[in-house]
Chain A
């Protein structure tokens, strides 16, 4: 089935089998491997992308359902100040969940440039990190404009 995907501002026409997830299409067809698959069932958040600005788990989003909508992956956020904020704060351990943490955080600061600690915890609670980088993630989001 031909699906039109708009990813990081670029338009793609792809022949996507119904049933394939957005995460697989991004990773396999477009080689955008910054979006990770860690659970493949919507529990961990490592596959988070933005769909029309809303953080969305791409592993449980079927690719054909986002036909024509704006998808933003970590590759589209590489110049975002949050990236340096994460590196500066050492909010990166193994790094497998980090791109998706940044995708979620970018949506948060877009809506609310100065989130409180409570707001950060609320917005980021769906992005798990097994290394326990959380205190540094909070710090990175608190200081993202520095």
Chain B
């Protein structure tokens, strides 16, 4: 029976109360540890399609008569279009249509960041469309951009009200402190640079619009497009079969979708609008830069008495204020915490979520500050974390928390310290650092799945979710196989199309497995129940004596029948199972935790930093696919190493223009930058969370890596790096500061 409940929904740390229909039958949790399929390594079921190039991404789709769009973008960070004349472009070879400024809301006359769309052209080929852009005569009045986030805060130019958080009395907490440390930490603007650029292919058939799009949220696109274009939801079909990376930047429809839809409407042809790599670096979102002014007070034994932070996020012209203060509020037991967060509205492109938005930046500041505190108190960094272990930070219990176990497992990596430091010579200094991780990742409702079980004893998971490259489709196949007692190769999945399956949740916030997985298990259980009911009647057994295992219906009295024999009674008909995701446990915090230990080498002459080894231990509840999970973990760590050492979107401080528009200038890690990685998961199901006990893993591994590296640098050299990326310049600055400190100390001693 459908029950209507009121529950809290979380995505990327943003909460809202929602009404929810629950149709879930409570299921017994599976036993701990690996089952027949779940918990065992499975290569991705669509791996061959992807590896051989048979998989068709949005970028690969061609429809008959398809036109290509090209977008005229503002070269200025702030300007006003004075003159616009597209008559020469309209007459150019192959051109079918031009959209002028304000033809649709996404094309503007007063751009507020470099790369903001002004106009668009559709032509037979991309080359023709781009050539036509050059024929548009446009004259801008260039206006002065606001680029400095601190100035924006002073002027009150913010995207939302400042957000404050208080626990206890922070000033009395500092009064109790024996030691206070403070520091200003800075993190940079970081680009997703997904390899498949943002793009859509729009095709009208009458009043129905098909949107083929590289997206992390098929249903969100359907909702957004239908709302903005004033169409009934079922007139919008959204398709994403294969997707070339998103990392948080592809949660919405984007300007390109509306440009393609309008051009397709005007020309009567399918139109593709795909960003080039340079456009991708201008206008596809970014992890916003931050300035974090932090202060911590502690007693001599390391117990935190006060934490205080002022955080400025350089969001850009649009976006939302992710919680940079989250780690300071949630990581440790501290009775007195005060944080203030500002989201600066600037003439740079809008931020978009990027793999644990806010927490990646905030963990860098918080965990570096804690190590500076530990150094001042001469307390072991692992020990100070244990001493401040939080059993709760807001009186709500955790649905599960095994961070102490992560610390215990981290110990053997931490104990390599003496051996690692001993490798140092006059030039290369070696050291070890660690950092803790807290983040969301519990997923939530609504999410739905169906199971189709055919008379050949094969099953298909049907749900209109997307697999953004994380292996979530394979995980769903594993969950269905486990519940149906089938080998993995007898379970298919049909996904990626809003017209071909029920509502599925967003693939963001480490939520696909914890949101979708329980719905798939429930659907498989519903199908299994029907098989057992049929078998009980056919073979004259009691239902409670029957179960599904190894592709058979098995009776506790020893009898067994192949599944295809039982389902085969239906001839060509199928058994249909239906499943929904139930609510998260009320009154509990659902979070993921972990710890990472990094080993680095620093060339103190040139400032070069090399990460040599990373050991990561995370707790995300039950692990569905250990092989896919290790790939997620390694990938997050490697992307995080890029964030820490080499990646930065640079803006010209005068004009606001982006100086890093290519994959040459914007440096993502290569295979040669990868250290030894040891990745471990506790694999302890969360007893309070869904019928699976699984949380998400997409984000946790990227959260603590920058702080672990920076803390290893302090261990190796005594220098406090406080700014990302840790370029040679920043490294040399920190070394010089440390040397100066040493000279001052020597003077005092002398």
* Chain A residues close to B by CB (< 8 Å): 20, 27-28, 31-41, 43-44, 46, 73-75, 78, 83-84, 86-88, 90-99, 102, 120-122, 124-138
Chain B residues near A39 (CB-CB < 8 A): 277, 662-663
Would A124 and B671 count as touching, CB distance under 8 A? Answer: yes
Asked whether, in the complex, the Cβ of A94 is within 8 Å of the Cβ of B195, the reply is yes
A94, closest chain B residue (CB): B469
Residue pair A34, B53 in contact (C-beta under 8 Å): yes
Chain B contact residues, CB within 8 Å of chain A: 43-44, 47-57, 59-60, 62, 127, 192-197, 242-245, 247, 276-277, 468-471, 627-628, 630-631, 634-639, 662-664, 668-672, 674, 677
Q: Mind listing 5 A-B residue pairs with CB under 8 Å?
A: A36-B57, A98-B51, A120-B671, A125-B671, A130-B245
Contact of A132 among B471, B664, B669 (CB under 8 A): B669
Q: Is B244 in contact with A127, judged by CB distance below 8 angstroms? A: no
Q: Chain B's nearest CB lies how many Å from the CB of A16?
A: 13
Given A90-B627, A102-B51, A128-B668, 13 further pairs, Cβ under 8 A: A32-B53, A36-B59, A38-B197, A39-B663, A75-B53, A78-B52, A83-B52, A86-B51, A90-B631, A93-B470, A96-B244, A121-B672, A130-B195
Expressed in whole angstroms, the Cα–Cα distance for A46 and B668 within the complex equals: 14
Contact of B43 among A43, A90, A99 (CB under 8 A): A90
Greatest chain B CB density within 10 A among A92, A98, A126 is at A92
Q: Given A87-B47, A90-B44, A130-B668, are A34 and B52 also a contact pair (CB < 8 Å)? A: yes
Decide: A94 and B244 in contact? CB cutoff 8 A: yes
Our pick among A28, A41, A102, A121 for the contact of B671 (Cβ within 8 Å) is A121
Contact (Cβ within 8 A) A41 B51: no
Assess the B662–A43 pair: CB atoms within 8 A: yes
The 7 A-B residue pairs with the shortest CB-CB distance, nearest first, are A34-B53, A94-B469, A95-B50, A132-B638, A96-B244, A132-B635, A87-B47
- Give Cα A74–Cα B634 distance, bound, in whole angstroms: 26
Min C-beta distance of B275 to chain A, whole Å: 11
Known: A44-B195, A87-B44, A130-B668. A33 touches B53 (CB 8 A): yes
Nearest Cβ on chain B to A95's Cβ, whole angstroms: 3
A27 vs B60: C-alpha distance in the bound complex, in angstroms? 8
A36-B634 contact in complex given A41-B277, A90-B628, A95-B51, C-beta closer than 8 Å: no
Q: Is there an interface contact between A94 and B668, defined as CB atoms closer than 8 Å?
A: no
Q: Are B245 and A94 in contact (CB under 8 A)?
A: yes
Judge whether A135 and B193 touch: CB under 8 Å. no
Q: Are A97 and B195 closer than 8 Å at their CB atoms?
A: yes
Indicate which residue in B48, B60, B636, B663 contacts A83 across the interface (CB closer than 8 Å): B48
CB distance from A48 to the nearest CB of B (A): 12
B470 contacts across to A, CB distance below 8 A: 93
Contact B670 A128 (CB under 8 A): yes
A93-B469, A93-B470, A132-B636 known; A40-B53 Cβ under 8 A? no
Q: In the complex the two chains form, what is the Cα distance from A125 to B127 in whole Å?
A: 30
Q: Which residues of B contact A27 (CB under 8 A)?
A: 60
Q: Is the CB of B639 within 8 A of A130?
A: yes
Q: Is the CB of B51 within 8 A of A92?
A: yes
> Which residues of A are found within 8 Å of B664, using beta-carbon distances?
41, 43
